[in-house]
Structure 1
Amino acid sequence: MSRSVAPTIAFMLALALGGMPSAPSIADEPTPEEAWIPLFNGTDLEGWTPKFAGSDAGDNFKNTFQVVDGLLTVSYDDYEDFDNRFGHLISDQSFSKYRLRAEYRFVGDQCPGGPGWAIRNNGLMLHSQPAASMDRDQDFPVSIEVQLLGGADEGERPTANLCTPGTHVVMDGELLTRHCTDSSSDTYRGDRWVTVEIEVRGGEVIRHLVDGKLVLEYEKPQLDPDDPDARRLIEGDDLVLTAGHIAIQAESHPTQFRSIEVLPLD
């Protein structure tokens, strides 16, 4: 995140929009590091819009999202109680075909009043609706969530799982309607840094990788017509999501991101 954005960022981000042929699979060939574009400037939240349940888009409730020492930080220092103020930091830019790479870690203790399932829990939301389109009291944007989890002292708890707020996907040829599906990743305990990478092929295939290992794959991300938030976004008969915004969650546990980068696929 401390790296400056190259002058060609607008052109390269534009390549992430649909309408171009697919590139080779993420595992096929290495990618030059200079091709990755940092999505944060290491100084502020320019290019992103916060949205919290109970607040209007643009209100960074209690300064939850901060950039501290070059790290994008989800902080609860100003909270006395979480009070179900689920938050998301949503990119102003929309993406379709790209790779997303993030280094994250969980730190400190959960905010008082946070739900038990949200301990060491965050997420990278793909194909998200824009912040301005969310209802004031909406908890989560309609999106495909790459769920980031930290392990407890004992037991298994994989990361880079799939959750589907207002959406469905197809897996192994069948429509998957359950809310969350575990990946095959290892369990990562403590405050260690973890690298997650996601390959997104528009409305086709999405792959999750952790430390370079494929841990989950599915296809045809689509709106759930039975979800009230998703119904507001449906246009015509086609439910498949081919593009959308990227979002970072704030679900009550302090989290830091050392880098969040995108590689447009053309």
Structure 2
Amino acid sequence: MHRCSRAFFILFALLCSFGLGTSKQAARAETLFNGTDLSGWHVDVPEQDNAPDVPPSFIVRNEMLVSLGTPRGHLITDASHQNYRLVVQYRFAGKPGNCGVLVHASTPRSLYKMFPKSIEVQMNHEHAGDFWCIVQDITVPDMVKRRGPKENWGITEGKGRRILNLTDGSEKPLGQWNEMVIECLGDEVKVWVNGDFVNHGTHCTASKGQIAIQAEGAEVEFRKLEIESIEKLSDDDAF
């Protein structure tokens, strides 16, 4: 083969390889919120059972998903997910307060006739990254220090269900956007807040389920809810 032709062929092959790699990378991420409506989600708000005309708990505003905080309840994905990395960008729209992302969600209203069976990753202001066990359980290092006396542990009403994170100092000032990354792989759940590694649980009693957003008293805006399969990632792509 002529030297110039051979060089052109090699360059062409490299460009094609790069293009295919880029497409594969782009195909990994999937948005859970389309910026227009709540397609792919359903609402579970107990107060609406007997009063269907009560105001909505979740709306779309300025291409953002907004949890209005009340009436209290959950916005739940229609689909179940397993082995994934979830990227959530959020901020409190007004006064700071409580909210959370639930992973491995299943049976609705399993706790206090409100919360679906799940592991909650806390977004409560200044406590982002705590775990709350909701009829599911998970283990972390230093369990007594982070969960309290062992005799109080449990996963139902009145039990020690909260597991403290590793740091409360990772959130940005009010009004700024926070990024929470939740990685669920097998029976492990890892959490980062604004790049800080804030929690890691193992031996979770669930490994798949729906994803839910809470309405729990405070108005929260979400501009990104993106999921990608960990199984498709190479070692070079690890977080």
Letter in 2 for 1:161: D
Residue correspondence of structure 1 range 4-153 to structure 2 within 5 A: 32=25, 35-56=28-49, 61-75=54-68, 85-109=71-95, 120-129=97-106, 133-134=108-109, 138-150=113-125
Residue correspondence of structure 1 range 164-243 to structure 2 within 5 A: 164-172=133-141, 177=153, 178-183=160-165, 184-186=167-169, 187-202=171-186, 204-221=187-204, 240-243=205-208
Q: Shift of the alpha carbon at 1:139?
A: 1.5
The reply to whether residue 159 of structure 1 matches residue 128 of structure 2 is yes
Task: Show CA shifts across 1:102-137 (max 9, x none).
Answer: 00000124xxxxxxxxx511100000015xx447x8
Gaps of 5+ in 2: 1-23, 148-152, 154-159, 232-239
SS at match of 2:223: strand
Change (3 A) 1:61 1:146: farther
TM-score using structure 1 length: 0.65
SS at match of 2:99: strand
Q: Shift of the alpha carbon at 1:51?
A: 0.4
Radius of gyration: which is bigger? 2
Q: Shift of the alpha carbon at 1:34?
A: 5.5
CA distance in 2, matches of 1:33, 1:123: 28
% identity of equivalent residues: 28
Letter in 2 for 1:169: I
Q: Shift of the alpha carbon at 1:173?
A: 8.5
CA distance in 2, matches of 1:212, 1:126: 20
Task: Show CA shifts across 1:222-262 (max 9, x none).
Answer: xxxxxxxxxxxxxxxxxx31211000000011100010010
Aligned pair partner of 1:251 in 194, 216, 219: 216
Letter in 2 for 1:66: I
Change (3 A) 1:33 1:256: farther
Q: Which has the higher helix share?
A: 2
Runs of 4+, deviation exceeding 4 Å? 31-34, 173-176
CA distance in 1, matches of 2:79, 2:89: 20
Change (3 A) 1:64 1:98: same
Q: Shift of the alpha carbon at 1:92?
A: 0.3
Q: 1:98, 1:262 within 8 Å by CA — same for their partners in 2?
A: yes
Task: Show CA shifts across 1:131-181 (max 9, x none).
Answer: xx447x82211110010022xxxxxx3312111122221223869633112
TM-score using structure 2 length: 0.72
CA distance in 2, matches of 1:86, 1:210: 25
Change (3 A) 1:32 1:209: farther
SS at match of 1:54: helix
Alignment-derived partner of residue 113 in structure 1: none
Q: Shift of the alpha carbon at 1:265?
A: 1.9
Gaps of 5+ in 1: 1-30, 77-81, 110-118, 151-156, 222-239
Change (3 A) 1:60 1:261: farther
Query: Number of matched residues?
Result: 191
